[in-house]
Copies of this chain bind each other. A is one copy, B any other.
Amino acid sequence: MESKKFILQESDIPTAWYNVLAEMPTKPRPMLNPATKQPLKAEDLFPLFTEEASRQEFNDTDKWIEIPDEVRDMYRIWRPTPLVRARGLEKALGTSSHIYFKNESVSPVGSHKLNSAIPQAYYAKKQGVTNITTETGAGQWGAALSLAARHFGLELAVYMVKVSYNQKPYRRSIMQTYGAEVIASPSMSTKAGRKIITDNPNYQGSLGTAISEAVELATSTPNCKYVLGSVMNHVALHQTVIGLEAERQMQMAGEYPDIVIGCFGGGSNFSGITFPFLRHNFTGEHNTRFIAAEPESCPKLTHGVLQYDFGDEAGYTPLIPMFTLGHDFAPANIHAGGLRYHGAGAIVSQLKADGLIEAADIPQLETFAAAQLFARSEGIIPAPESSHAIATAIREAKRADEEGRSKVILFNLSGHGLIDMAAYDQYLAGDLSNFKVTDEQIAENVSKLEKLI
């Protein structure tokens, strides 16, 4: 554990987010109105999202978007976060590669999710919104938004995926301690939830279902807006503080990454760590590889199709051009609840289609083995989500060793796993399994999408 941290000062917190939409060689196709199939404009999202988030969603011209002072003030609770040279892990692997991780787990809610929760709550407050609602998987996003909502004096209702509500009661308690209302999803409080419970009383929920419920609440409640923790362009935008800080810290370390890795659910932390480095690939200055690490049980980027699909289970959202497994895909109950989502955001999907990023699908047991090795060599118990990035970093280090090369590998430690210890218990007891989805299952599920457009 001779690891070395690279530490920035508060004055080094970025003053602007990096907007990759302005620089992508091929822009994603537009979101569509599912009824008319017409492209949407920012104003079309105003009933659902805050106006500022809606405008950011469509902004493909401004490369840099200023971070409001009120947001930077709150970032200062825990930012800048450390970049760490993981010498303990390197030694445990016996690799000649250099492994770095950006430690986003140091936020008070334990993950990177606050980076977007804060600006979204701020924009709601500024607009005069009183109530916001959202969904959460493992509870990382819900905990972050609960804190941000409390700070800006907003009421918050969180639909929490039922399997996580039961698996991770502590995250529910965290949200409640900050003052949020938490509802297990699917619930009887919405039409979407009632339908799903009626069709399948034992269904343990998914992010897609929880999004449907939150969207329904937002669109049927006065002065209430919906807030999303991943998938959307504006969320990816806010998360770029991760990569922008990491870029400066890699300069302090005197290296530049050959490979940058983030775990992948809808794209929030992956976008955050990679986009600022990706811009140097656009200019030809660097030729870094970017790897999205997804669960083999929910493998949209590696095994899904790029197609217009809904962002939610019930079909309330606009149609989004995404790598998808189908919006009614029911992922296995893996412990990485934040990665149990059927689709990838539009930007990441386009980048994947264009060969500008890669993806890897990782079995659950491999992620826990990686997590345990990391905990014992670096001291930090990682979130099950983040363990997908660690497992991928380990794969790449081993591959480089086999090829007789030394790589500079950077991954994002999106969160800690201190509230996921029940999962570790099961792993240590040998009670965890892999859940591989077959290509036939995926083909059947996505075949239903053709009628959407």
Q: Name A residues whose Cβ lies closer than 8 Å to a Cβ of B.
A: 1-5, 7, 9-10, 73-74, 76-78, 88, 106, 108-110, 147, 150-151, 169-171, 173-174, 176-179, 372, 375-376, 378-381, 416, 418-419, 421-422, 424-425, 428
Contacts and interface: CB of A to CB of B under 8 A. Distances in A.
Contacts of A378: 77, 108
Contacts of A381: 108, 174, 177
A428 B1 contact: no
Contacts of A2: 73
Contact of A421 (B7, B173, B375): B173
Q: How many copies of the chain does the oligomer comprise?
A: 2
Contacts of A376: 150, 177-179
A375 B424 contact: no
Given A150-B376, A174-B381, A381-B174, A1 B418 contact: no
B3 A428 contact: no
A108 B380 contact: yes
Contacts of A106: 106
A113 to B, nearest CB: 13
Contacts of A78: 379
A119 B389 CA distance: 32
Given A1-B73, A170-B170, 7 more contacts: A1-B77, A109-B379, A170-B419, A173-B421, A177-B424, A177-B428, A418-B419
A77 B425 CA distance: 25
A177 B424 CA distance: 7
A270 B130 CA distance: 42
Q: What 7 A-B pairs are tightest by C-beta distance, nearest first? A: A173-B421, A170-B421, A108-B379, A108-B380, A173-B425, A177-B424, A77-B379
20 contacts: A1-B73, A2-B73, A3-B77, A7-B7, A7-B10, A88-B151, A108-B379, A108-B380, A108-B416, A110-B418, A147-B379, A150-B376, A169-B421, A169-B425, A170-B418, A170-B421, A173-B424, A173-B425, A177-B428, A418-B418
A99 to B, nearest CB: 15
Contacts of A419: 170, 418-419, 421
A88 B147 CA distance: 13
A370 to B, nearest CB: 13
Contacts of A147: 379
Contacts of A169: 421-422, 425
A176 B424 CA distance: 9
A177 B7 contact: no
A76 B4 contact: yes
Contacts of A179: 376
Specify which of A76, A77, A147, A416 lies most central, judged by the most chain B CB atoms within 10 Å of its CB.
A77
